[in-house]
């Protein structure tokens, strides 16, 4: 009975699942081979990929793995289980996965290191209400509702205000639908909107829009701080102002300076709070939200109460002009004190004090009466009819009530400060830009997806409900403000007519202080939230490593707090503070948020139209048309609110996009733009299939055949340099190479060769594709490349290959046979061919020819290739200053003068500038040199043929045993010579000698002297002599005229039909190009490539 010994084998796949998004790296190769650096091909977290890969990382320990791998019931799949997990293992890792949310959740627990070690990770348990609905409400309701909505209603009227609210809320609702579709298409980790856009539209769009979203959030913090300071200085503690106006016209500048000082102080304090402990910001979030809700409820309560008991806020009017109420005590020209009529404080303001004479008073004051009207008439007063229509004003225009009588006379300029006037010029577009920030904040739910019990249900429901709620509040607020408050009070931005009360506070119940205090705390809280979220967003972008100069902002404190990002955020927010005007900052952040929402809609539309297999959102109520409508509305709102801000924002996003593209963000996130590119490419390729390109559109689409050395390095990079100079980034370039060997054994070498070629293409700035094939023979591999490279109509029409320099010295004929075979194949395939000779002397991309000639020797018509190539080369900076000269050859029976005229006319019609010369070649006798050269050529051919025959006979007898792991030869592609064959040394050969074999060997040795005598008496073939004569004569003429040319382009003769003369053909080409530094041999593809017609 046989005995078996079981030897334990250490598992190589310690953890092949270092990074998985689906399955990122699967080893389909033979597990018996060791690939120590396979990790290099894995796109892991270390290379900047986000943590969406992480659910699959934390696998069980090694012992449980072994049990998984060698499960008795899965013996058939033992080899598969080495590199793939069981379904049960995969599912358990998915269930245990929790992603990281944006904000401070992950940092709160790390404030105390010991506490974080003791804590066990909690499972997400937040529902729709607490996790999405209330955070969205808190982010959407903001400073604009309390400080500017009444003013917007007063300026735009109820109808246009409803239109503004409808436009903004419709835009955010459509965006929320698109966002819900994206957010429910898988898990959304840290980064919120940035993550969604970058993973849907790619790193370029993601980086551009992510930075726009970051700038929007940063400017939002500045806007909230300015709003809080405005409430503080105008309504809470007016006496805290540091700067005071010395004249009525300087009040605005004094107020702006106060805002700058207090805003900077407030920003510094908030930044310190965020730096010290973010957990306090999150704990106070519910308090800030309570302030917002209480304030809104008090507005509704006050509006309902105003139906029966409107609040007492009288407004003093002089004629139909509104007066600043806190400048005087009684709204009358005179007052009675002890039965004596004395001038009031108001009289003293408009007249010289102590004088009852009207001659010393302001004309407008004397001719108009002082009246008092109710500032809050109430819901049942019918004031809604007056507030229905717009009343836009210019800067400095005094607020007037249309229904009051007034004598229109000019008053004194020094009394201008007594009236309530407009501080800025208003228009519909300006109000749209100011209001839109109050509709933003819809991303709060998607940013917290990791805390939600069922994110894919809660995010759509909570976000859409929040937008619906806030939209209803805005619509009802516009209606209530217009129906309850007097028009001049609505247009009074800072409440000067109602004793410096917050206008919305005058309507609230039980007291205006409810709104003032509530709005102050809510704006402070919103500012803190923005100042907390913006640095983390910047940190998420920096950690993705798509924008190199932001890399420093990915670092922070030991617990992950983004310290450097917070510092940058504070500096950018300070720029917003220095603007100091809420009305100027609001349109800026509107631009950035609209840009972000635009790309969310674009991402959803692209994914929907492409129907990518991974696009399976649980939220089903979306459509690409809605996404496009939302995108169009975002774009329209950008230009409606401020066209110059829109151009600046788009310019910033465009520059970031081009920068990321220029830096080459090597990220593969399965984004929609890549899918869109594939669809566009497919569509274009199908269109190209209709027929061959018109002559006007013809340009060389190159297949560059390269050769690699033993270390898989490109031997002659100048061939790629020449291709880049010829193409200048236009059209198609395919760089191909052949590896000789077996595909199964040489797959790794093929990948390494591809990478080496791609690296060299990047260095030489060749934009194109790389194709490496493995073939048993180099010649067959080249034929495969010529036949199969390209796709559809996007195929090469020109082959570029090197010259086989060492063909004369090599005993192996494969060097030049491969070359000639390639020439024949390109001719058969109707492809053009270019052979740069002495390619090492060609200029690099950094050289410049300041003078010199590009000489074209046009001997036979090749479709115009010789005319077109110099023109294309001269587009490149290396050849731009070279002059073009065209030489053609005239025979004895040609009229050379007429030929020159015709050629000049032809070039003029081709719009090509070149000097024209006609070279006359007279018939002459064949020189002794030509005869001798031909003879030497044929003797050499005959000698090599005999050597190969005797060698072949000896080889037929020998059985060479080669090592099975012999070195693989690289194919002839780049350079110009065949690689030497590296073979294992043959083992000792045993030969079996027979009588016949001995006699044959003796005869061969006796025939050697006869073969030599035959060789010496050889007479050259006359056709070869004629060809050699042509080559010698042409070479003399070319060298004489073009010895100092920067480049010589020359018709390449075709190979002979009879393959016996192949070696002679190589000699003819050598003779033809002798003595020239740079030569480009050109063969046309059999079609016209240049035309005189437009």
Task: Give tens-digit pLDDT for 203-253.
Answer: 877 888 788 888 888 999 999 999 999 999 988 988 888 888 776 666 778
Question: In the predicted model, what is the mean pLDDT of residues 953-966?
Answer: 43
Q: Count of CB atoms within 10 A of residue 257's CB?
A: 15
CB atoms within 10 A of CB 396: 12
Q: How far apart are CA 1037 and CA 1076, in angstroms?
A: 12
Query: How do beta strands 915-920 and 1047-1051 pair?
Result: unpaired
**Is residue 156 predicted with pLDDT exceeding 60?**
yes
* CA–CA–CA angle 95, 98, 102 (5° rounding): 155
Mode of pairing for the β-strands spanning 883-890 and 915-920: parallel
Q: What's the average model confidence in pLDDT over 314-320?
A: 90
Q: Which single residue is written with the structure tokens 């091909």?
A: 41
Is residue 118 scored above 50 in pLDDT? no
- Phi first, then psi, for residue 769 (nearest 5°) are -120, 160
List, in order, residues 6 or more apart from 160 with CB less than 8 Å away. 390, 428, 431
pLDDT at position 532, please?
84
Q: What is the mean pLDDT of the chain?
A: 77
Give the mean model confidence (pLDDT) for residues 408-422: 81
d(CA 700, CA 692): 13
pLDDT above 90 covers a percentage of the chain that reads 20
Mean pLDDT of 926-942: 56
Q: Which residues contact 32 (CB under 8 A, 6 or more apart)?
A: none
* C-beta separation of 137 from 466 below 8 A: yes
Which residues does 858 contact at the CB level (< 8 Å), separation at least 6? Answer: 866, 867, 886, 887, 888, 1051
Q: How far is residue 38's CA from residue 792's CA, in Å, rounded to a whole number?
A: 34
Which tops the pLDDT comparison, 570 or 901? 570
Q: What is the per-residue pLDDT across 583-617, written as a single tens digit (0 to 9) for each?
A: 889 989 899 899 989 988 988 898 888 887 788 88
CB burial of residue 1077 (10 Å; 0-12, 13-18, 19+):
middle
14 phi and psi angles, rounded to 5 deg:
-50, -55
Residues of the chain with pLDDT > 70: what percent? 73
pTM of the model: 0.69
In 3D, which of 591, 211, 228 has the Cα closest to residue 433?
591
**pLDDT exceeds 80 at position 1073:** yes
Check residues 123 and 203 and name the one with the higher pLDDT: 203
Q: Report pLDDT for 117.
A: 47
- Residue spans of alpha helices (H) in 910-1021: 928-957, 995-1016
Q: Of 683, 165, 200, 628, give the one whose Cα is nearest residue 438.
A: 165
Q: Looking at residue 769, what DSSP letter applies? A: E
Determine which of 307-311, 340-344, 742-746, 798-802 has the lowest per-residue pLDDT on average: 340-344
- Per-residue confidence (pLDDT) for residue 109, from 0 to 100: 44
pLDDT of 691 reads 65
User: Half-sphere exposure of 982 toward its Cβ, with a 13 Å CA cutoff?
Assistant: 12
**Rounded Cα distance, 996 and 549, in Å:** 82
- Nearest Cα residue to 864 out of 920, 817, 912: 912
- CA angle 122/125/127 to nearest 5° reads 160
C-alpha angle 471/635/654, rounded to 5°?
Answer: 130
Report yes or no: 1067 and 1053 within 8 Å, Cβ to Cβ.
no
In this predicted structure, the answer to whether residue 116 has a pLDDT above a threshold of 70 is no
CA–CA gap between residue 492 and residue 489 (Å, rounded): 5
Check if the beta carbon of residue 546 is closer than 8 Å to that of residue 207: yes
- Distance between CA 577 and CA 559 in Å, rounded? 30
Q: Is 784 helix (H, G, I), strand (E, B) or coil?
A: helix
Residue 442 in tokens: 């819809």
Provide the 8-state DSSP code for 129.
I
- What pLDDT was estimated at residue 984? 40
For 772, phi then psi, to 5°, come to: -120, 130
Rounded Cα–Cα distance for residues 197 and 164 (Å): 27
Tell me the per-residue pLDDT of 245-295, one tens digit each, with 9 for 90 and over.
776 666 778 888 999 999 999 999 999 988 887 777 777 878 888 888 999
pLDDT at residue 420 greater than cutoff 70: yes
More confidently predicted of 77 and 639: 639
Structure confidence by residue, pLDDT tens digits, 472-521 = 999 999 999 999 999 999 999 888 888 888 999 999 988 889 999 989 98
CB 942 within 8 A of CB 713: no
Phi, psi (5° rounding) for residue 641? Answer: -75, -40
Q: Kindly tell me if the per-residue pLDDT of 983 is higher than 50.
A: no
- Alpha carbon distance 317, 300 (integer Å): 28
Q: Is 385's pLDDT higher than 70?
A: yes
Contact assessment for residue 759 and residue 799, using Cβ atoms and an 8 Å cutoff: no
CA–CA separation, 591 vs 585, rounded Å? 10
| Euclidean distance between CA atoms 758 and 735, whole angstroms | 9
Here the tokens at position 322 are 């509104």
Q: Cα dist. 68→9, 27, 31, 58, 71 in Å?
A: 16, 18, 18, 15, 5
pLDDT tens-digit map of 814-829: 767 888 888 889 888 8
List phi, psi (to 5°) of 882: -80, 145
How would residue 978 be classed by pLDDT, with cut points 50, 70 and 90? very low
Output the six-digit token pair for 486.
Answer: 């007097």
- Residue 75's pLDDT is what? 63
Please give the residue that has the higher pLDDT: either 420 or 12. Answer: 420
More confident residue, 993 or 1074: 1074
Cβ–Cβ under 8 Å, residues 552 and 566: no
**pLDDT value of position 60:** 41
């Amino acid at each position: 009975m046989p005995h078996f010994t079981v030897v334990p084998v250490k598992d190589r796949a310690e953890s092949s699942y270092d990074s998985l998004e689906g399955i990122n790296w699967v080893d389909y190769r033979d597990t018996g081979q060791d690939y120590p650096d396979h990790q290099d091909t894995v796109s892991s977290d270390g290379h900047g990929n986000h943590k969406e890969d992480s659910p699959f990382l934390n696998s069980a320990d090694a012992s449980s793995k072994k049990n998984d791998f060698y499960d008795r019931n899965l013996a058939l799949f033992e080899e598969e289980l080495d590199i793939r997990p069981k379904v049960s293992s995969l599912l358990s890792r998915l269930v245990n996965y929790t992603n990281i949310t944006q904000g401070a959740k992950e940092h709160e627990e790390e404030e105390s290191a010991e506490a974080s070690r003791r804590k066990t990770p909690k499972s997400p348990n937040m529902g729709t209400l607490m996790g999405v609905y209330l955070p969205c409400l808190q982010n959407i309701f903001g400073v604009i509702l309390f400080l500017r909505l009444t003013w917007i209603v007063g300026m735009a009227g109820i109808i246009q205000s409803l239109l503004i609210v409808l436009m903004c809320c419709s835009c955010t609702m459509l965006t929320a639908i698109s966002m819900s579709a994206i957010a429910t298409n898988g898990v959304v980790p840290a980064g919120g909107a940035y993550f969604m856009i970058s993973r849907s539209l790619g790193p370029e769009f993601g980086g551009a829009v992510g930075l726009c979203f970051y700038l929007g959030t940063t400017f939002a913090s500045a806007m909230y701080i300015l709003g809080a300071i405005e409430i503080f200085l105008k309504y809470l503690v007016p006496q805290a102002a540091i700067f005071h106006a010395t004249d009525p016209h300087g009040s605005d500048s004094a107020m702006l300076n106060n805002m700058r000082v207090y805003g900077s102080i407030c920003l510094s304090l908030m930044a310190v709070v965020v730096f010290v402990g973010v957990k306090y910001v999150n704990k106070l979030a519910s308090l800030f939200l309570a302030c917002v809700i209480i304030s809104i409820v008090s507005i509704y309560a006050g509006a309902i109460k105003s139906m029966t008991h409107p609040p007492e806020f009288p407004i003093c009017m002089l004629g139909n002009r509104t007066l600043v109420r806190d400048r005087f005590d009684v709204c009358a020209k005179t007052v009675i004190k002890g039965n004596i009529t004395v001038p009031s404080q108001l009289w003293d303001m408009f007249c010289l004090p102590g004088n009852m004479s009207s001659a010393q008073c302001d004309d407008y004051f004397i001719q108009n009466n002082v009246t008092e009207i109710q500032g809050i008439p109430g819901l049942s007063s019918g004031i809604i009819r007056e507030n229905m229509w717009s009343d836009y004003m210019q800067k400095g225009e005094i607020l007037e009530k249309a229904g009051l009588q007034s004598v229109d006379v000019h008053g004194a300029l020094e009394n201008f400060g007594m009236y309530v006037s407009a501080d800025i010029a208003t228009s519909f577009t300006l109000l749209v830009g100011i209001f839109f920030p109050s509709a933003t904040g819809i991303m709060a739910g998607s940013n917290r997806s990791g805390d939600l019990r069922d994110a894919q249900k809660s995010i759509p429901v909570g976000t859409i409900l929040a937008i619906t709620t806030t939209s209803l509040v805005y619509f009802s607020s516009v209606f209530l403000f217009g129906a309850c408050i007097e028009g001049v009070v609505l247009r009074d931005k800072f409440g000067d007519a109602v004793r410096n009360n917050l206008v919305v506070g005058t309507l609230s119940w039980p007291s205006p202080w409810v709104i003032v205090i509530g709005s102050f705390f809510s704006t402070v809280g919103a500012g803190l939230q923005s100042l907390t979220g913006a640095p983390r967003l910047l940190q998420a972008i920096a950690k993705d490593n798509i924008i190199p100069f932001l890399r420093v902002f990915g670092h922070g404190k030991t617990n992950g707090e983004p310290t450097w990002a917070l510092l940058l955020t504070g500096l950018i927010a300070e720029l917003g503070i220095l603007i100091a005007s809420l009305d100027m900052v609001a349109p800026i952040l509107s631009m950035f948020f609209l840009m972000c929402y635009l790309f969310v809609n674009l991402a959803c539309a692209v994914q929907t139209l492409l129907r990518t297999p991974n696009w399976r959102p649980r939220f089903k109520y979306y459509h690409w048309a809605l996404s496009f409508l939302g995108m169009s509305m975002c774009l329209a709102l950008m230009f409606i609110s401020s066209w110059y801000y829109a151009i600046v924002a788009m310019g910033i996003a465009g520059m970031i996009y081009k920068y990321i593209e220029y830096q080459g963000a090597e990220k593969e996130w399965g984004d929609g733009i890549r899918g869109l590119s594939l669809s566009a490419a497919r569509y274009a390729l199908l269109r190209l299939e209709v027929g061959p390109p018109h002559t006007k559109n013809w340009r060389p689409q190159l297949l560059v055949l390269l050769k690699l050395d033993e270390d898989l390095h490109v031997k002659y990079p100048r061939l790629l340099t020449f291709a880049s100079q010829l193409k200048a980034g236009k059209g198609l370039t395919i760089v191909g190479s052949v590896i000789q060997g077996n595909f199964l054994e040489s797959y790794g070498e093929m990948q390494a060769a591809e990478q080496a070629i791609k690296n060299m293409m990047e260095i030489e700035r060749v934009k194109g594709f790389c194709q490496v094939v493995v073939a048993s023979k180099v010649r067959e591999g080249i034929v495969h490349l010529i036949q199969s490279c390209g796709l559809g109509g996007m195929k090469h029409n020109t082959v570029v290959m090197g010259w086989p320099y060492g063909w004369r010295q090599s005993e192996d004929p494969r060097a030049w046979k491969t070359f000639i075979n390639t020439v024949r194949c390109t001719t058969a395939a109707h492809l053009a061919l270019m052979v740069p000779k002495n390619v090492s002397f060609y200029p690099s991309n950094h050289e410049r020819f300041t003078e010199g000639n590009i000489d074209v020797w046009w001997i036979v018509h090749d479709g115009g290739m010789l005319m077109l190539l110099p023109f294309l080369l001269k587009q490149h900076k290396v050849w731009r200053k070279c002059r073009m000269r065209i030489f053609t050859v005239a025979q004895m029976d040609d009229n050379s003068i007429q030929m020159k005229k015709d050629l000049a006319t032809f070039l003029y019609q081709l719009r090509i500038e070149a000097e024209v010369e006609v070279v006359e070649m007279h018939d002459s006798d064949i020189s002794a040199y030509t005869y001798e050269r031909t003879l030497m050529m044929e003797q050499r051919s005959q000698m090599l043929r005999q050597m190969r025959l005797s060698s072949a006979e000896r080889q037929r007898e020998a059985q060479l045993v080669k090592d099975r792991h012999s070195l693989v030869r690289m194919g002839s592609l780049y350079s110009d010579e065949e690689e030497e064959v590296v073979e294992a040394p043959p083992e000792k050969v045993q030969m079996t000698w027979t009588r016949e074999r001995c006699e044959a060997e003796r005869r061969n040795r006796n025939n050697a002297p006869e073969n030599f005598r035959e060789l010496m008496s050889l007479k050259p073939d006359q056709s070869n002599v004629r060809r050699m004569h042509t080559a010698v004569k042409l070479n003399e003429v070319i060298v004489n005229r073009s010895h100092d040319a920067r480049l010589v382009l020359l018709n390449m003769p075709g190979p002979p039909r009879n393959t016996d003369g192949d070696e002679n053909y190589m000699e003819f080409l050598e003779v033809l190009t002798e003595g020239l530094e740079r030569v480009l041999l050109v063969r046309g593809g059999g079609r016209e490539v240049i035309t005189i017609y437009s």
